[in-house]
Amino acid sequence: GENVEQHPSTLSVQEGDSAVIKCTYSDSASNYFPWYKQELGKGPQLIIDIRSNVGEKKDQRIAVTLNKTAKHFSLHITETQPEDSAVYFCAASKNTGNQFYFGTGTSLTVIP
Amino acid sequence: KAGVTQTPRYLIKTRGQQVTLSCSPISGHRSVSWYQQTPGQGLQFLFEYFSETQRNKGNFPGRFSGRQFSNSRSEMNVSTLELGDSALYLCASSFGHQGFAEAFFGQGTRLTVV
């Protein structure tokens, strides 16, 4: 089955700095890669996603890159703000339904 | 547009009991997936239902079961509860068609088994 690894497990940055979270996957058949943000006491919230036919996608301060050859994808958050503090999960899917394989999460702390 | 609604938000059950959790997907969504989230194992896929049929199943014992109704609402049931079943149970909904449908999660049901 698919195995998704995520690094780092914790990340602290100063407000205004950038944050980068990296994930690798093992199954070359995976073709959809969403990123979720989970705040305390809430369910995961979809923040950005990328499909395997695209190398990069950007939405305001958030961007995701995908390298299919190396089987890794990354989340980039620029100009971080305290409200970006949360746990971030990457996931991979083979588009055969909504079965996602999740990374272990990155706890991001933005220090004011 | 209302989001994914899970009820109840919190549950405390005793070992050996059974429990039923409910999920109402976003209007128009036909796929509902269930996940178990624990500090040790992270987010693990339980099963997915689409148009009342189970489409995928994760690696969980048969004590975990689910169903979906004609209005796309879904329930999951856990029988003979064990202490290790304590977790946040999350439901996600999507249109469910082939073609990279985004999945949206509810706030979860926090189950504590004592």
pLDDT confidence band for A96 (50 / 70 / 90) = low
Each residue of B45-72: pLDDT tens digit? 999 999 999 988 999 999 999 999 999 9
Return d(Cα B3, Cα B28) in angstroms, integer: 11
Contacts of B56 in chain A (CB under 8 A): 96-99
User: Can you give the pLDDT at residue B99?
Assistant: 58
Contact between chains at B105 and A43 (C-beta distance less than 8 A): yes
3-class SS shares of chain B: helix, strand, coil, % to 5: 5, 55, 45
Contacts of A102 in chain B (CB under 8 A): 35, 42-44
Return d(Cα A74, Cα A8) in angstroms, integer: 11
Least Cα separation, residue A13 to chain B (angstroms): 23
Contact between chains at B48 and A101 (C-beta distance less than 8 A): no
